[in-house]
Chains A and B, each alone.
Chain A
Amino acid sequence: MIEVKNLIKVFEGRGQVVRAVDDVSTQVGKGEVVVIIGPSGSGKSTFLRCLNGLEEFDDGRVIIDGIDLTESKTNLNAVRREVGMVFQHFNLFPHKTVLENVTLAQRVVRKRKPAEANDKAMRLLTKVGISEKAGEYPSRLSGGQQQRVAIARALAMDPKVMLFDEPTSALDPEMVGEVLDVMKQLAREGMTMAVVTHEMGFAREVADRVMFMDAGRILEDAPPAEFFTAPREPRAQAFLKQVL
């Protein structure tokens, strides 16, 4: 479903050159849940943002469902429709109600009729357990509720892949669970997911594969049982010692 070949992303600024993603090649199969972990600044978020072209990468190729992002005739907007993304800071549209947040892109991008879009939105809001807040503005919602709305907003486009960029990092601890529950349910339903997170419990329980990134490279790529019990890389061992 996702294929990455020799991906390179370089940040330049203040005389420094940082290779945030340094020659990464990997692939994610259909229905697979991949969790990407690593210390902060290791390039995992940048890597994830390259997957839907939100970050313009310097070299390499990203192929989503057979479509090459780097090819000049590829319509990036058309690819992004198929790739849902959930952000650390939710990024809900504050001037729209919860329902409008979920219906806007359906109507603008997918050209769905208002009734159809509303229907779909209400179904998804019910699924993430927040349908009673449909008429509220995002500022009235707690962080956990906002993040669940953000997930519903991404799902409304019927994506083939979902990207999660530290979805629980900005949440109060007691709200992490409600968001993770929604993500677990998605994984069970067979959604292809790439998740950057610090929730080791989630990785252990849900992931098919765990990728460990450091300094822009994938150092280890293994099933969670193997990764958490017997990591091969010394840096992965050190990292796990810190977080577990």
Chain B
Amino acid sequence: MPLKRHSVQWPWQALLAVILLGLATGLWVATKRVNYEWRWERVPQYFAYRAEASQTAPVAGTVRGISTDGAYSRVEIVPEDGGPSVTVAVETDTLKVKAGDPVAEGDDIGAERHWKIGPLTWGLWVTIWISFVSGFIGLIIGLVTGLCRLSPNPTLRGLAVLYIELIRGTPLLVQIFIFYFFIGTVLNLDRIVAGVGALALFVGAYIAEIIRAGIQSIAKGQTEAARSLGMSTTETMIHIVLPQAFKRVLPPLAGQFISLIKDSSLVSVIAITDLTKSGREIITSSFATFEIWFTVALLYLLVTSLLSQLLFWLERRFARSD
């Protein structure tokens, strides 16, 4: 009998399906019991909706004619004091005048509709760019701090250790409050700047530790080989150590960035309308509590899984030299 056995997979896959089905049923039964009425149809309008803008007659005069072209109608108005005629385009189903009607200046003729992005889309965008900007600044802070942490200079080392310990030892929520109410007041910062600043400082401390570990994991022989060729400490860092360290820290860095996207939801406490705060605001007007929170969660999941895919792809690219 060979030592390598092929275990049968399908009973376990079936069990997995049964468990997932059970969970879904449980969720359904639970919402039935609390008499919750699902209104999923209310959700899409918070992504994008058609806004109506009423169109008024620019001049007083008479409607000479209306030419309808499907959903659009063009209303031609002849001004009563002479001059060239004016046309106003409106949606056909909102048309409020007929040919020959007299109109005064400012009279409603109909409405024009256009797409507007809803609060969920807007909140998602705010979350994405806040995370991206603070992640980028955090990466720079982390790189500098990580290098200081390894510096032979006691001042730089001490400052780096102090910063890392302070940030890692306090909750992000408290840091955001301090940043906004204390530092923000002293330096007269905008709430967005305060929010991005707090997130960047927070993530920077964690990235610093990741970078330090990455640099320390590169074999000493690499530095020695580079130095023996006459490269300076800086040149060795830039050409030899950091590229190798970066490749190695990519997986933990990816985890940190995914955490950052989720942690960015905390800036909603200083009234930045990110995805979480948008969700809260929508609930106060729509009462679709469950649907909105599920949607918000799904949107976060979407962004984080896209990011992890991207970093996974980057990781494979870097693995070429292995």
Contact = CB atoms under 8 A, between A and B. Distances in A.
Interface in A61-90: 77-78, 80-81, 83-85, 87, 89
Contacts of A196: none
A95 B230 contact: no
Contacts of B243: 95
A137 B244 contact: no
Contacts of A92: 225
B222 A137 contact: no
A68 B221 CA distance: 25
Given A95-B243, A95-B247, A95-B321, A87 B230 contact: no
Contacts of B320: 137
B244 A153 contact: no
Interface in A134-167: 137-139, 150, 153-154, 157
Contact of B229 (A89, A137, A138, A153): A153
Given A95-B243, A95-B321, A87 B224 contact: yes
A186 interface: no
Contacts, number: 69
A211 to B, nearest CB: 21
Interface string A189-204: 0000000000000000
A93 interface: yes
Contacts of B39: none
Interface residues of A, number: 29
Contacts of A83: 228
Nearest to B240: A93
B322 interface: yes
Interface string B157-188: 00000000000000000000000000000000
A95 B244 contact: yes
A54 B230 contact: no
A109 B321 contact: no
A108 interface: yes
A96 B46 CA distance: 50
Nearest to B224: A54
A77 B222 contact: no
B196 to A, nearest CB: 33
A130 interface: no
B229 A154 contact: yes
A114 interface: no
Interface stretch (B119-127, B231-239, B294-302): B231-239
Interface string A43-58: 0000000001010000
B230 A80 contact: yes
B273 to A, nearest CB: 43
Contact of A109 (B219, B221, B235): B235
Contacts of A137: 320-322
A138 B322 CA distance: 9
A60 interface: no
B227 interface: yes
A139 B221 contact: no
A240 B132 CA distance: 66
Interface size class of B (residues with CB under 8 A): 20 to 34
A84 B228 contact: yes
Most buried by A among B219, B224, B225, B231: B225
B235 A85 contact: no
A75 to B, nearest CB: 9
Given A94-B244, A139-B322, A80 B227 contact: yes
A139 B230 CA distance: 24
Contacts of A138: 321
Nearest to A153: B229
Given A80-B230, A105-B230, A105-B231, A89 B221 contact: yes
B218 to A, nearest CB: 10
Nearest to A140: B321
Contacts of B230: 77-78, 80-81, 105, 109, 157
Contacts of B228: 52, 54, 80, 83-85, 154
A244 B232 CA distance: 42
Contacts of A95: 243-244, 247, 321
A107 to B, nearest CB: 9
B321 A139 contact: yes
Nearest to A92: B225
Nearest to A104: B239
A91 interface: yes
Given A97-B321, A109-B231, 10 more contacts: A77-B227, A77-B232, A80-B227, A91-B219, A93-B225, A94-B321, A104-B229, A105-B229, A108-B235, A153-B229
18 contacts: A80-B227, A80-B229, A81-B229, A84-B228, A85-B225, A91-B224, A93-B222, A93-B225, A94-B321, A95-B247, A104-B239, A105-B231, A108-B231, A108-B239, A109-B231, A109-B235, A137-B321, A139-B322
Interface of A: 52, 54, 77-78, 80-81, 83-85, 87, 89, 91-97, 104-105, 108-109, 137-139, 150, 153-154, 157
Interface of B: 219, 221-222, 224-232, 235, 239-240, 243-244, 247, 320-322
